[in-house]
């Protein structure tokens, strides 16, 4: 006789023979995690290159200059100011201003004497320029208390107008109601101040230089510069 076997085990039913469905949410979370990491990496790369680009801008160098001026950091000022170039650019203006103070006493010989004194005083003029530019920059920053560098990074671009053309930039901040203009030139990955257009600064430099010039009306007539080369002096017989 045949035997009839009834299986009461539910695991052996038709449902047990169907493949189990895998849960999809772990894959979704993994994909989202990868996308998130990629976004963070892209943002980090963009931020890095943007920061490096900003570090090579005139605005960043000007912020470094203001920071050095506020801290009275002479080495920092020297790195951002080309005092020799500024002095060369300023010599002609200072010489002209100094000559104007002699009025009607001014002549070719007087101008030669002024030029001679200016050339001999050039090393001292460079030191004067560095100190004076430091004062101007500190005054431009406003206040006597040094500001954190991160604050200067945001404050300087909003307080100065900078126009860039190639490797030259013109920065026009305002010191009170008196406008000044700084000419900056690219120096590797930074910028240096190579000229400053400020009438008040020129006047202060002239005042300092006048101490090294003869008093008005006190030029020595025996100085060879004052002899007329067109007339020879006759020797007494």
Buried b or exposed e, range 22-40, using 16+ CB within 10 angstroms: eeeeeeeeeeeeeeeeeee
User: How far, in Å, CA of 33 to CA of 11, rounded?
Assistant: 37
Mean of the per-residue pLDDT values of the chain: 75
Q: Which residues pair with 179 in a beta bridge?
A: 174
| 108 phi, psi to nearest 5 deg | -60, -40
DSSP secondary structure code for residue 72 in this structure: T
Question: What is the reported pLDDT for 230?
Answer: 47
Q: Which residues pair with 170 in a beta bridge?
A: 163, 183
Domain range for 211 is 56-226
Number of domains in the chain: 1
Question: What is the reported pLDDT for 219?
Answer: 46
Asked if the structure places residue 21 within a domain, the reply is no
Question: What is the reported pLDDT for 232?
Answer: 46
Asked if the structure places residue 194 within a domain, the reply is yes
Question: For residues 151, 153, 157 and 162, what is the CA-based torsion angle, rounded to 10 degrees?
Answer: 150
Q: What is the pLDDT of residues 10-62, one digit of tens each?
A: 555 555 555 555 667 788 888 899 999 999 999 999 999 998 888 889 999 99
pLDDT above 70 for 224: no
Question: What is the reported pLDDT for 6?
Answer: 53
Give the three-state DSSP class for 17.
helix
Asked if the structure places residue 28 within a domain, the reply is no
Q: Which residues pair with 187 in a beta bridge?
A: 190
Sign of CA dihedral 70, 72, 75, 77: positive
Give the three-state DSSP class for 137.
helix
Pick the more confident residue, 198 or 9.
198
Question: What is the reported pLDDT for 213?
Answer: 66
What mean pLDDT is predicted for residues 98-125?
72
Asked if the structure places residue 15 within a domain, the reply is no
Asked if the structure places residue 10 within a domain, the reply is no
Prediction pTM value = 0.64
Asked if the structure places residue 3 within a domain, the reply is no
Asked if the structure places residue 11 within a domain, the reply is no
- Rg from Cα positions in the chain: 37
Q: What is the pLDDT of residues 133-186, one digit of tens each?
A: 777 777 666 555 678 888 888 888 778 888 999 999 998 876 566 678 889 999
Asked if the structure places residue 45 within a domain, the reply is no
């Amino acid at each position: 006789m045949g035997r009839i076997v009834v299986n009461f085990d539910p695991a052996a039913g038709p449902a047990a023979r169907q493949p189990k469905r895998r849960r999809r949410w772990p894959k979704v979370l993994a994909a989202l995690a990868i996308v998130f990491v990629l976004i963070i990496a892209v943002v980090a790369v963009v931020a890095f290159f943007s920061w490096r680009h900003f570090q090579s801008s005139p605005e960043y160098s000007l912020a470094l200059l203001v920071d050095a001026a506020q801290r009275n950091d002479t080495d920092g000022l020297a790195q951002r100011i080309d005092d020799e170039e500024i002095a060369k650019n300023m010599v002609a203006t200072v010489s002209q201003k100094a000559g104007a103070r002699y009025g009607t006493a001014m002549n070719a010989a007087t101008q030669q004497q002024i030029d001679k004194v200016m050339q001999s005083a050039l090393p001292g003029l460079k030191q004067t320029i560095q100190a004076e530019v430091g004062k101007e920059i500190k005054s431009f920053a406003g206040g006597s208390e040094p500001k954190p560098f991160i604050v200067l990074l945001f404050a300087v671009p909003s307080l100065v107008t900078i126009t860039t053309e190639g490797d030259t930039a013109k920065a026009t901040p305002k010191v009170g109601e008196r406008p000044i203009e700084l000419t900056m030139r690219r120096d590797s990955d930074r910028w240096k101040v190579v000229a400053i257009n400020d009438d008040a600064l020129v006047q202060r430099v002239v005042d300092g230089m006048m101490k090294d010039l003869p008093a008005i009306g006190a030029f020595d007539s025996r100085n060879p510069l004052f002899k007329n080369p067109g007339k020879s002096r006759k020797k007494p017989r």
